[in-house]
Every structure is written in C-alpha cells, then in structure tokens.
Structure 1
Amino acid sequence: MTQRNYIAAAIANVITRTGSATPEGEAQVTLGTTGLYRLDAFQSGPLSEDTYYAIGGSLRQNEGYRDSGFPADKGGQVRANIVHDFDNGSIKVSGQYTNDHNIFYLSIPTADPNDPARSLDRYLDYFTGTLDTDQLRAVNIRYRDGAGQTQVQTGDLANGRHIRFGNIGVDYEGDLGEWHVSAKAGYTQGKNHFDALYSTSNPVDANAFASRYLDAAQGAFGAGVTGLGYALAGTGGQTTYDPYADSGLVVSAQYRSIVSKFYSGQGDLSVTRPFDTSIGRHDVKLGAYGALYGASTFAAYQNYLLQVAGNPNVLDLAAYGAGGSVQGYVTNNGALQEAASLNGGNYDGQVVALYASDSWDLTDRLRIDMGLRHEWYSYDGYYRVTQVADLGDATTLADDATRAFTGAIVTSSPKVRATNWTVGVNYDLTDNFGVYGRASQLEVPANASVTTNASGSLASTKARLFEAGIKAGFGRSYLYVTGFYTKFDPLNASFTAFYPTTGRSDQTVSFVGTAENKGIEADGALHVAGPFSVSGSLTVQDPKYLDFANTAGADATAMPCARRTRCGGIWNVRACRCS
C-alpha cells in the first residue's frame, strides 16, 4: 500500500508457493552480525487426490545497522493456500497474516557548522550512528480536539513502521471450450502505525540556539529569568547538560506518529482466446476489474531538541533564575513544539475498469500488440480542519503555537476517469537481427487520499512514452539498444515545501507541472566459452522537472534541507547552507 502526504507507507510480500503431489518441507535459520536472527519454514503436500496444501512463514529480529538503542526489525508472517485441480483448470484459496516492525533510518548531519572543514564523525559515527534514540520510547504529543479538549497521541520510536494485516484470496484458472477464463478476488484489511524521527534541521551552536528563545522566556516567565540552560529531558532541569563539554551543538528533529487503518476488496475477470484469420493469428483478451478500498488516517508531528551524538540524549531548554531555580521551560520533556503538524481524515474509493488486448502475428517475423484500458474512479472523503492554538500550559513555551482541530471537516466526492493504451511492433529482419518500437499513454488519477488533504490536487498524471530499438542475438550472446522519450504533462507530484497560508515548512503539498526524460539504454551479454559470459548494461538519460506550481502558492524552491550542500569539502546530505 502506498499513500501520499501523512499516510504511512508499507510494502508486503504476497507471493507464495503452492503444493504438489510430492510432500516437501524446508527450514532455514539465518544469523547476522547485526544481531539478526531469522527462521523461515515451509511445508507442502497432498490433502487428497487433486488437492494440495502449502503453508509457510518467517520470524525475525534484527538489532539493526545503526545503534538506535532498540531492535530495528522484528516480526513475521504466515501464509497458506489450498489448490484443487479440475480436468480443465484449477482453483486456489489463499490467506496471509503479517505483523512486522522495521526502523525508518533517515540522514544524519555530517558537517560541523562552526567549522565546516571538520566533520561530526567523532560525535555521530558515519557508519553506525543515528539520531534515533531509545529516549523516545514513550512520546506524548498533546493536541486539542474538535471539542476543545486536550488529547494525547502516544508514540514509541521502536515501533517503527508497524504493519498488521490479513488477506484472503480466491484464484480460478480454467478452459471453457476455446476460451481461457481467469477469475480472481481478494480482500485485505489492516493497520499501519508509523513512528519515525525525521532529521529536519541542521545542528546549530548551542548558545546561538538558546538566545533565540530568551526574550520569549522572559516574557512568559517574568523578569526573574536570568538565562537559559540545557538539561536532560524529564529531570526537572536538575541534571544539567553542557553542550560545550561535547560538540558545542544542539539539533532539532521531528517525531512523526501516523496511524492508518485500511481495507481493500477487488475482483478481476478475464477471458482469452486465439483466432486464426487470413492475415495472421490473433490472441485476444477481454476483461473487467473492480475494487472498493479506503483508509482512515491520523497524523501528529512533534519537534524535539537533541544532543548531537549517536543515540542522543533528549534535551530540555530551561529558564533559570538568579539562584539557579527553574522558572519555566522552552521545551516540554524535550519537545520544542507540541503538535507541530496535525492531520486527520477518511476516504473511501471505488474503481471499475474495462480492458482489452490483442497480440497479432501477421507473419512468423512480424508481430503487433495492442492494449486499451479505461477506468472510472469515484472517491468520497473528508479532512479535519486545523488552526493554531495555545494549550494553556503556563510552564512551557512548547504549547504556545500548536496545531489544533477546529471541529470542522471539509468533504469532497470527486469522480475521475483515465484511459491507458499501448501499441508495439516487433520485426525480425533475420534470425539474428530485429527491430522494435512502442508508443504508450499512461494516465494515473490522483490518489483517493487527496480527499483527506487540504493541499491535494485532483489533477491526473499523464505521460506519453515512446521507444524504439534494435536487437541482435547469437546463441547465448545478445545485445539490445533502445532509445526512449517520455513526456509527463501534467505531472502531479508532492514535495515538502514552504506553505505561505500557514507559514509552515513541514507540510507535504501537491504541485502540478511537467517533466520529460530522454535517453538511450543498452543491455547485452557476450558468451566467452563454456559456462563463462560477460554481461553489462548502460543507461544515459536527461530527466528534467519543469514549471511546478501549487494552487495555494506554496513554493517548491523553498524546501527546507531538501538538497545536498558541499560544506568545506564535506557533503552534508540535509544541509541547505553551510552555517
């Protein structure tokens, strides 16, 4: 499942083996130097004459490639199916359950802003370091609901990308006279809980960072505030932390907690038949597809203050009086801003599609294939409206400007269509040489989740694709050379950008523009002798994004930390500037 904006994404493997008349089983244990322990097992065989079963699955745990202070990956899945063979086909019933966690690593700062010629490797190891920390195992994100009450979204960074889902499916393949019939149906339901720490900012000098908040702290906690200082989060300001005994830096990062419940039911029916005519042989396929699907989503982001180190401490920035007493906090248990972003919504979608294809062999050397698919989409969804709010906690500045639900929702029920087609030709000049070409149109409507996104665009992505090439084959040696050109007009894409209507730069908003890509690719293999061969591929291309715009005026060129910058000879992956 892949969804845009604040809906988390996950990928699951639904490919499985089937049984046969011969019983077989397999078990495998995998151990790794990263604390990896994995068990895979499989068993299959006959249940009765013409009926077979297969069941298998896996369990794993992995400490991870970087030291986060907790296991990076854990979980497993089980899959099973039963197949029954008929005289003219077969039917398979399958099921799957997956419950799996994996960590979401993001880039780490590498250049010291106080001296770009030096790296931060001595504080945050290039190869094993991460800003992920076991101190974010019990996160509380406070926000205001639509009724004006303060609520708490809890999070655990060790949760990672946690997907739980079940799937059942039925698959029939059979021959009815000269027609081959394929009928498939399935249903999936699950929940995806996503917890990750995003490296949204560069490290900064600790004193310079604290000075930004001194006036606001004195205004909130009184003239008795004589200065700001750092302490380990949650210690009441008593366990102080001196950044200058360390790197002299602090860094802020964003914790994102996203929950999505989803379902999907789909069915596909197709028939295929070959026809012989006076001008060649046709292999025609006709089909229909339908699906009902939907998701409910909730997302809350919170900005945290961290030590610049691997598995860092979470820090509080406290306001101290003349006697060293704590007058108040800029942060709240390490949170610089509670509910820095807040989103919620729900959508349901349906799609109906009709499709047809034909492979036409005019001669034994000339083939033309054609395909056409038309789709009708219908969406029904809403998103919850938010505004800036003060949660009213007089002990901290972190709640002064949070996102809050207003209680209002915005609904939409768009209907869209899409048409896709392709035409290709292949002509074998000789037994060793041939030429080929293809033209296609791809149209992808906006995802149904656009109805849960205030900044979403309903524009479809459309692309025209053209390619032509030559091929040569001599036994086990071959060469393909293909030139290609693709034009996206329009291209509906999502970027993290500055959004002027809210003044925020942490939102993923939709942009519509154009793009093109042209190039040439070669793929070949040379059989040397016996079992030895040399193979390789080469692609040269020139992709370009053009004239992207957002209907609300968001600026794609103002994306925070979205490009690499070379600072003093060191590449800083997330840096927009060197200091």
Structure 2
Amino acid sequence: MIHTKKEKAKHMKSQNKFLLSSVTLAVLTLINQAQAQNANEAPAAVPASDAVAKEIQQVVVTGVSGARGVRKIDSAFSITTASEEQLKSAAPSSTADIMKLVPGVYAESTGGQSGANIEVRGFPSGSDSPFVSVQMMGNPIFPPPTLSFFEGSSAFRLDDTIERVEVLRGGPSTIFSNGQPGATMNFLLKQGGDTPEGTVRFTTGTGSLRRVDMFYSGKISDGWYGSIGGFYRKTDGIRDAQFPADDGHQLTATLTRKLDQGELTIYARNTDDKNAFYTGVPLISSNNGHTISAFPGFDPLKGTLVSGEMRNYTIEAAPGKTLTKDLGDGRGLKATVFGANFDQKIGDWSVSNKFNHFSGDLNTNAMFTGNNPLSMADYTAAAIKSANSNAAVVAAAGGKLATSANTTFVHGGNVAADQQVVQAGLWAVEKKLSSFTDELRVSKEVGKDNTVTVGGYFADYSSRDVWYLGNSHLMTAVPNASLINVTLDNGVVVSKNGTDGNVFYAPVASYDGNNTAVFVSDEWKINDRIKVDAGVRHERQRVSATISNLMSGDTDNNPLTVYNNGTSMPNGSNTFIDRKDSANSFTIGGNYKLSKDASVFVRANRGHTFVSFDDLRGAGSQAAANDRSVLPTPKVSQYEIGFKTANSFYSAYVNAFHTEFDGIAFSQILANGTTLNSVSGSKGNGVEFELALRPLANLQLSLTGDYQKSEYRDNPATAGNTVQRQPKLQFRFTPTYRIPFGDNNSVKLYGTYTSIGERYADQANQQYLPSYRTIDLGVLASLGDKIELRLNASNVNNALGLTEGNSRLTTGGSGPINARPLFGRSVEASLLYRF
C-alpha cells in the first residue's frame, strides 16, 4: 500500500516512467521491424485488397495547410479516418457515438441523438464537449464547440451523403480554422462525379424503427457536378417513452464546378429532427458504487421514467403565465447550413477560402433526474417537516401544523406508503443559434520545397436563450412513471398534477461573439525522408451578454401551494457583460519516412480556449467576468511521438502523448438549483493505438484504444484526483472476415468486443463508475454490385454499464441511485439498392 503523499508521488512518477519507457520500446520495435522489412524486401503475407490499398494511399485534409491534403501515413499528427463502410459497420447510435472508433476519446452517447458528453484524453471537462469541434467540409458548424444545452455533435446528423470522417487530435489544429486544441471531427460530403450513381436504403429495427435514406450524384454539364440526398426516420426508441423518440428528416445537396487548376464546391443542408433525451434511471448501488444492479421492477437497459402521461407538461413561469411544452420535441435540431469551399492555383500561388453560415433552433424539452429514489412515506415525512418549519406556510394554514398527507395518482387511486418514488425536473430551454465563419489561406513555395501559408479566420456567432430549469415532478420509480399528487391535512398542496417544485432558474439572455485570427505556417521538405512544419496563430475574441436579472415570486399568490413558491422569473432589468481576450498558439512537428509506407513523427503544440457565453452568465457581473483568477483563458500544451505504417499484412498507428492543462472553469447545477463553480488544471500521459493484422486473405483483426493516466492539479480540492469521466484503459477488438462467392457476391462477418475501464463521474472522485464490456455483431451480404443486406446488433450481451452518475448530486455511495446506463440489446436491418 502507498501511505504517504511522497510515496504516492514517487509511485506515480515510476508508473509514468514505466509507461513512457514501454511506449518508447514498442515504437522502436515497430520501427526496427519496418526498417528490416524494407531492407530485406520481405514478401507480404497476403495480397493487398482494394480496402488495404485505399488505406495505404488514404489522403487526409483536416489539419493540413494545403487543400489537396497529405497521405495519412505521411502526416505528422494523430488522425483517425473512417470510410462510409466503416461508419456503417460501427453502427453508431448518434453522431457522438462515432467517437468509439477514435482512440483517446470517450463519448457518453446514451442520451440519444443529442446532448452527448465527449471527453478528450487528458483534457478536464465535466459535461458536453468543450474540446471537440464538429466540422462539415472543413468548416466549423458552430464556432464555439459547446454551450450549455448544446454540444457540436447535436448539430449534425449522419446519413448516406457522408463520404468519410476524419478525427484529428491536437496536432496543427491549434493553428487552423477555429483553433480547437482537443479533437476536430470533420465530415466530408460525397460530391458528384463523371459517372452517375445513386442508392436507396431501407432500415428497420428495435423500437419500430422506420428509416429511408436516398442519395444521387452525377455530372450536370461540362465542368459541373452535383449530388443530393437525405433521410426520413421515425422510431419509438430502445427506451420506449410511449411516444416517438426520434422523428425527422434531412436533405443535403452539393454543387461542384471544376476550374482550371481549381475547384468550387457549394453545399447546403436542412435538418428538421426531434429527438428524445434520456437521463438517469433508478438503479441499486452497492459495495460503495463498485457493484450496480437493477432497481426492483425497472429494466435499466430498456426502461425510462418518461411516459405519455407527462409528455405535455406545464410550466408556471410567472403570475398569469403558464407554458405548455412537449417532451416529444426532446433535444431536437431545426437548422440550415450553407457553405462554399474554393481552391485555386494561380501561377505560383495557391488560394483557398472556406465559409459557411449556420442558423437554427436547438431547443431542449427533457427530463433531468433529481434526488435519489425513496419511499412515498419518507417523501411525505420530509414534506410535512418542511411545511411545518416554514412560518409563512403555517400562518397561511391558520397556524395548524400538518400531521399527515394524502397521496394519490394524478389519474386516480391512492399511492401506497412503500411505493418507491423519484423527483425529476421537466426542463425547457429555447436556444436560437446563428453563426458565420470564413477562413482564407494563401500559400506559395518560397525556396525549394519550402511552402509558406498565410491565413486569416473570422467568426461571428450569437445565441438567444430562454431557460426554465427546475419544475420538479413527483413520480413513481417505474418505467413510464405515473405522476403523484400530495396534499397535507392542513391544506398545504405539496404536489399538484405531479408538479412538486418551482422553476428555480429562468434567465432570458442574448449573447454575441466574434473571433478574428491570423496565422502563418511553414512546411519544409528537407529531403525525401524528412519533412518539418511549424506555425503560429494570434487570435482575439470579444463576447458580450445581456442577461435578465431575476427575482423570486409566488405564481398564484397562495403560500399553501408550496410547489410554486419562490419561482424564479425576470424582474424587468438586465445585466450587460462584455469581455475581450487574446491568445497565441503554436505548433511544430516533423515526420521521418522509414520507408515508402512507414514513418515516425514528433509534435509539440500549445493551444487555448476562450471563455464562453455560459462563463459570462455564471460570472454575474462585469467585475467578476474580468477577474482572470475566476475566469482564466485556459492553455493546453501537448507533446506527441508516433509511428505509422500500413501494408498488406498489418497496419499500425501508435502515438504516445503528454498533456498539460492550465486553468479551466467548471460549473455544476445541483438538484436544488445551486451552482458549484471551480477552476482546475490537469496533466496526463498515455498512449493511443490503432492496430490491424491481416494474417489470411479476407481476415482482419483490429485493436484500437488508449491507456492514459490523467489527474487534476492546481486546485487543492481536487489535485491528484483522476480526471473525471475518463477511463484509464479502453480498447476495442474487431475481427472481420469476408467470404467471397460467385461473381461479385460476398458475406462479411464482423464483431467488436469493447472494454471500458473504471471512471469517476465527478472531480472529487466520489461517484465511482464501474468498468464494463460490450459485444456488437454484424453481417453484410453483398449480392453483385447492386444489392446489400446488412444486420447489426449492438450490446448483444446486455451489459449494464454506466456512462454517467447523478450529475445533480456531488456524492455517490450505496443504495438507490439515479444514473445513466447503456442502451440494451438492439438490432438494425437494412436493404440497400444501387442504381
């Protein structure tokens, strides 16, 4: 055992040295093997398939200065790519769920299509995805990666218009575009070509899924090409809420003009999609959180507290003002994206310009669980005690103290004293977002094999918010819960139509921001083996907010109706907050080619993030917003060394990293409306790996994942604790076997074994989340060139894994809890026809 802090630090230092030594040894061994194979010209074990050949020649465009990109193997940074087929085989449940393909990233996608939490290795984040940017065609969809009740993946839907995705971690991303120091997820759309092609795909599955995808592309006229596609989908969801979980459609189009030594592509996408949002369900925690089991009568893999009874819920917003909201709207997306990419060679100059405009509503109408389950008797005892301790309530009751309670279901019938109940808020957040971004780059070769790129980036964005948080409802702790009324014997109304709590936070806010950045990068090919690059960026941001000041009031002027006493509402005045920041970023890296298809790279960078709209709201005043000790500009430094190779026998992408993070503000909204704020830094070491072995023709064995040791620093309350929500070890093993038969016919069998290590849901490391393992299976039958039949099954072993604890509480422990588990076993079947 480690008894002292000194011994613990020594032990941790030893572990880090061991990790880095192991990584160095592994990289050197692979380098030696690659050099030996190159020197001896060892024959490949199996002939290269089309897929392997494409991997070897894979060109990436994310994080590089030139529009024409660079071979993935020759890139001096960590990047993961996934083709259309790889995306379909992975069967992601949402856009965020794609991150399961990416080592060094952990995505909590169990909330449904929207509202994921995504963590990047070594980066301290508590919710949403502040260190993940989502791009389409190299343009950020919305420049700030995260806001409260918004994260980038919520603004993007997957369909058959996607050609591939590239996910860059760190590297040169601190210089280009919106300067994301964490991970950048860039979706590349299919574009028209000389040969017309189209597909139609029908999909069905668990939750009465009904989905149609269509796509068509081709040549319009000389030099002009186009594509169009989209989807329509409706499903009840794996967790049946008694109304459609997802209901919507999307349409995407591109228009490309081939130019002499250049290209112009215009694209547009319109999405109208409603998505249920799932939070925690009742569970039983034992062994201090290390053992999780089902709550009696509640299937944690399929059940949800949400029900048709509460779908249309009411908010008492102010005296004489009530609002009716629909949980069926969930966390949806109703938005339009329009953009254009222009690349042109003009003499010795290369010019590139990317712009896009995003406008849409990303509203939230969803349930957020509150306190842990308890019996009806315990609830009423606490309600009686609370009412009797409130002098104003007792006075309104004529001085009579309550001694008992009447508990009934909203739709009739008494509620038993031993009935387990929970409280959950039905929240409503209106969020109207708009943004415009533009990035211009000009490149020229200065001297032999030395290319200098100068560029500028501009972003303008806004958010218009109306929030109603709180609105607690009392309900049974069963799937598709029933609402409960509670009245005390002295006339006090604790719960009416299920509502047992006020709206505790109801700001109305308008936010505006703009960023301007200039950058310079230089790429120098020293010789046929060595290439180095470096870049610097200077960026300025200004953000402002007009936020309503709040007061507390009684919406019906009746102290006996305690559920709406103290309701938060605007008082008619506002607070204006404005802040300006500037920061510098840099990157430097190099790539050394060991052979044609093997290389090593090193990379160092320093990036930053700026304060967000929500930081301004949390500050509350101009003075607090300008206090850099409370709201610092976070800085992050990253150091990487990696090895890349791909041939017909094996592929290997291995990357060792060290991360240091200085100062980021955290906030957590508790069940009673209290907001906890803190500032912490972090540091971490680790290794990412993407390995594939092809010992036989048509057989591939893949292993991806990462090991990391990341902990907080700089804050005495959390220093030394493990960075929340991130497992030390996660990996995915995926065997794939293709069985060819006849002319262009084949069957591909594939599966994935996923292992996610233990984590903590909070900074204090009080909410323990156990490790879990899942198994996914799939089969793809290709019948000639025209027809594909696919069957995917997810979590076939029905693993009860938790992705999130109760984010409204600060501690874990044993007994009944609320937490968010994985979705249970689900199946999807699709039929695709090409024409």
Superposition TM-score tier, normalisation by shorter sequence: 0.7 to 0.9
For 2:710 and 2:424, locate their aligned partners in 1 and report how far apart those are by CA, in whole Å: 32
For 2:592 and 2:151, locate their aligned partners in 1 and report how far apart those are by CA, in whole Å: 46
Shift of 1:97: 1.0
Task: Give the total of aligned pairs.
Answer: 546
Higher relative contact order (CA 8 A, sep 6+): 2
Pick the structure with greater CA Rg. Answer: 1
Question: What residue ranges of structure 2 are gaps of 5+ in the alignment?
Answer: 1-141, 158-186, 718-723, 725-760, 771-799, 816-835
Shift of 1:17: 2.1
1:167-182 superposed matches below 5 A: 167-182=337-352
| Normalised TM-score (structure 1) | 0.86
More helix by share: 2
Matched with 1:231 is: 408
Question: What residue ranges of structure 1 are gaps of 5+ in the alignment?
Answer: 322-326, 498-503, 551-555
Cα 1:547/1:228, change in 2 over 3 Å: farther
Matched with 2:565 is: 400
Shift of 1:520: 2.9
The answer to whether structure 1 residue 67 and structure 2 residue 237 are counterparts is no
For 1:356 and 1:396, locate their aligned partners in 2 and report how far apart those are by CA, in whole Å: 64
Shift of 1:462: 0.6
Matched with 1:421 is: 586
The answer to whether structure 1 residue 306 and structure 2 residue 510 are counterparts is no
Q: Structure 2 residue aligned with 1:157, among 317, 322, 327?
A: 327
Q: Structure 2 residue aligned with 1:26, among 199, 202, 212?
A: 199
Structure 2 SS opposite 1:240: coil
| Normalised TM-score (structure 2) | 0.61
For 1:573 and 1:381, locate their aligned partners in 2 and report how far apart those are by CA, in whole Å: 32
Shift of 1:63: 0.5
Matched with 1:467 is: 640
Shift of 1:565: 7.7
Amino acid at match of 2:231: S
CA contact (8 A) 1:109 1:573 kept: no
Shift of 1:265: 1.1
The answer to whether structure 1 residue 53 and structure 2 residue 202 are counterparts is no
Matched with 2:56 is: none
Shift of 1:470: 4.8
Structure 1 SS opposite 2:461: strand
The answer to whether structure 1 residue 204 and structure 2 residue 379 are counterparts is no
1:548-567 superposed matches below 5 A: 548=715, 563-564=767-768
1:350-369 superposed matches below 5 A: 350-369=514-533
1:182-261 superposed matches below 5 A: 182-215=352-385, 216=387, 219=394, 220-222=396-398, 223=400, 227-233=404-410, 239-244=412-417, 248-261=419-432
Cα 1:243/1:577, change in 2 over 3 Å: farther
Shift of 1:357: 1.7
Shift of 1:320: 3.8
Cα 1:291/1:430, change in 2 over 3 Å: closer
Q: Structure 1 residue aligned with 2:542, among 371, 378, 386?
A: 378
Cα 1:104/1:548, change in 2 over 3 Å: farther
Amino acid at match of 1:563: Q
Cα 1:32/1:538, change in 2 over 3 Å: closer
Shift of 1:478: 4.4
Q: Structure 2 residue aligned with 1:273, among 437, 444, 448?
A: 444
Matched with 2:256 is: 83
Q: Structure 2 residue aligned with 1:389, among 550, 553, 558?
A: 553
Q: Structure 1 residue aligned with 2:284, among 94, 111, 122?
A: 111
For 2:376 and 2:536, locate their aligned partners in 1 and report how far apart those are by CA, in whole Å: 61
The answer to whether structure 1 residue 511 and structure 2 residue 511 are counterparts is no
Percentage of matched positions with identical amino acids? 24
1:481-537 deviations in Å (ceiling 9; x for gaps): 43321110122333345xxxxxx7435554222111112344433342434343324
1:86-135 deviations in Å (ceiling 9; x for gaps): 2232222222211101111112111289xx99965442112211111222
CA contact (8 A) 1:40 1:58 kept: yes
Matched with 1:553 is: none
Matched with 1:12 is: 156
Amino acid at match of 2:436: G
Amino acid at match of 2:328: A
Cα 1:112/1:208, change in 2 over 3 Å: farther
1:136-155 superposed matches below 5 A: 136-144=310-318, 149-155=319-325
Shift of 1:442: 1.2
Cα 1:313/1:548, change in 2 over 3 Å: farther
1:447-476 deviations in Å (ceiling 9; x for gaps): 234333346764222111112245566764
Cα 1:433/1:74, change in 2 over 3 Å: closer
1:308-367 deviations in Å (ceiling 9; x for gaps): 10000011112247xxxxx34111321111212222211111111111222211122222
User: Which segment is superposed worse, 529-538 or 186-195?
Assistant: 529-538
For 1:57 and 1:483, locate their aligned partners in 2 and report how far apart those are by CA, in whole Å: 39
Over aligned residue pairs, what C-alpha RMSD do you find? 3.2
Structure 1 SS opposite 2:278: coil
Cα 1:96/1:564, change in 2 over 3 Å: same
For 1:544 and 1:63, locate their aligned partners in 2 and report how far apart those are by CA, in whole Å: 40
Structure 2 SS opposite 1:335: coil
Structure 2 SS opposite 1:311: coil
The answer to whether structure 1 residue 577 and structure 2 residue 797 are counterparts is no
CA contact (8 A) 1:477 1:525 kept: yes
Matched with 2:494 is: 330
1:197-237 deviations in Å (ceiling 9; x for gaps): 1122111121121012225177243438552121123x5xx
Structure 2 SS opposite 1:398: helix
CA contact (8 A) 2:548 2:570 kept: yes
Cα 1:3/1:273, change in 2 over 3 Å: same
Cα 1:295/1:480, change in 2 over 3 Å: closer
For 1:535 and 1:185, locate their aligned partners in 2 and report how far apart those are by CA, in whole Å: 37
The answer to whether structure 1 residue 489 and structure 2 residue 662 are counterparts is yes
